[in-house]
Amino acid sequence: MSASREQVFSNARLVLADEEVGGTVLVRDGLIADISEGSAAGEDFGGDYLIPGLIELHTDHLENHYAPRPGVVWNPIAAVQAHDAQVASSGITTVLDALRLGTDEQTDVDHADMRHLADAIEQAMADDRLRADHFIHLRCEVSSPDCLEGLELFKGDPRVRLASLMDHAPGQRQFASLAEYAKYYQGKLKMPDDVFRAFCERRIAESQANAPRNRAAIAEIAKERGIVLASHDDATEGHVAEAVEQGISVAEFPTTLEAARASHEAGLAVLMGAPNIVRNGSHSGNVSARELAEAGYLDILSSDYVPFSLMQAVFSLNDKVEAIKLPEAISLVTSRPAAAAGFDDRGEIAIGKRADLVRVRLHEGVPIVRAVYRQGQRVI
């Protein structure tokens, strides 16, 4: 999707890499051709913000559109389109759709479903059905015995840009506390105590049997295929040391200040959830993203489970953290995730970059997405 005509976006509040300026952007053939201060003849943005299109590295929403209820499976292309409409209307112009690898008895969908969704993404992109640019993030549940089998279905898929290593077994990382695990999962699964104890024992045994070999194997495969590798829910310096050894470059959702600090010092990009910023804390009681921002350990924000939270978070962050001004806040959802995922053609308002742009107005502290452009073409 590209625009061949010349466009002028004028009287906008441009959020550039290091500053905000009132100015004009010239778009030609889908790229940013010129940036100037002041107004010019063209589309008048009325002083609205013009920011780069947001880049989302970890959203689980596609699976929810594909399997919206237990036992219900939607048409995969229709599911992709519905998901795309939601992310694009949130100002996201590049998205890595998270697909789960590793099944268990609670899994409603399997690896074949994940491959169907990946094929639907490819077909929908080829048909020019989608507003955002879609890639794939493989969420690898390393405690699962069939995780590597699922990974083989994505061998050679050029849309796979990121893989994360996850272990949600009780006693691990996000759920190091068995009491917290019970609070989250026993209520969710509605299991009586004896059934839940047996469930936990199976999960722990699976993690012990499968996680070490799966972590090592996926790290090697990612290196061979040029896939960016992420850790998930690191809690200790030991977890971070393991991540560094395995060639991981993104630390997703560290659960403690200790792990975030160690990741930052090791050169890993620390990714946290935008809902954590919006809600002023983690929904599961882990370290707050605001605390990491104040300490200088926050590099990337992800919408995780609420797509619009990305836009909300960046426009509230400099109110919550005095040292962070709007250009830096915007970089957490644009240029920094672009760099982490290996995109060098997008993520900032700069000459020669893709004209992936969002027109935004603030009203009573809540951003309103008024227009979204992908490669200069208006999609929202």
Condensed to tens digits (0 to 9), the pLDDT of residues 361-380 reads 999 989 999 999 999 999 99
Q: What is the pLDDT of residue 318?
A: 81
**Mean pLDDT per segment of 10 residues, for the chain of length 380 residues?**
76 97 97 94 96 96 92 96 98 98 82 97 98 98 94 96 88 59 61 73 84 95 97 94 97 96 98 94 80 96 95 93 95 98 98 98 95 97
Contacts of 269 (CB under 8 A, 6+ apart): 249, 250, 251, 299, 300, 336, 339, 340
pTM: 0.92
Burial class (CB in 10 A: 0-12, 13-18, 19+), 171: middle
Q: Which CATH architecture has domain 54-345?
A: Alpha-Beta Barrel (3.20)
**Residue spans in the chain of domains classed CATH 3.20.20.140:** 54-345
Question: What's the pLDDT at 5?
Answer: 84
pLDDT the model gives residue 3: 44
- Stretch(es) of the chain classified as CATH 2.30.40.10: 1-52+346-380
- Structure confidence at residue 2 (pLDDT): 46
> What's residue 179's pLDDT?
61
Q: How far is CA 129 from the centre of its chain?
A: 21
d(CA 277, CA 306): 12
Q: Which helix (H) or strand (E) holds 54?
A: strand 54-59
How would CATH label the architecture of 1-52+346-380?
A: Roll (2.30)
- Look up residue 104 and give its amino acid: D
What is the pLDDT at residue 105?
67
What CA–CA distance (Å, rounded) separates 288 from 273? 9
Structure tokens at 138: 């493989």
Predicted pLDDT of residue 87? 98
Tens of pLDDT, residues 5-58: 899 999 999 999 999 999 999 999 999 999 999 888 999 999 999 999 999 999
Residue closest to 270 by CA, chosen among 293, 298, 237, 234? 298
Q: Give the CA count within 13 Å in the CB-facing half-sphere of 236.
A: 7
Q: Which two tokens stand for residue 279?
A: 């809600």
Which residue type, as a one-letter code, is found at position 177?
S
Distance CA 181, CA 121 (A): 34
Cβ neighbours of 149 (radius 10 Å): 13
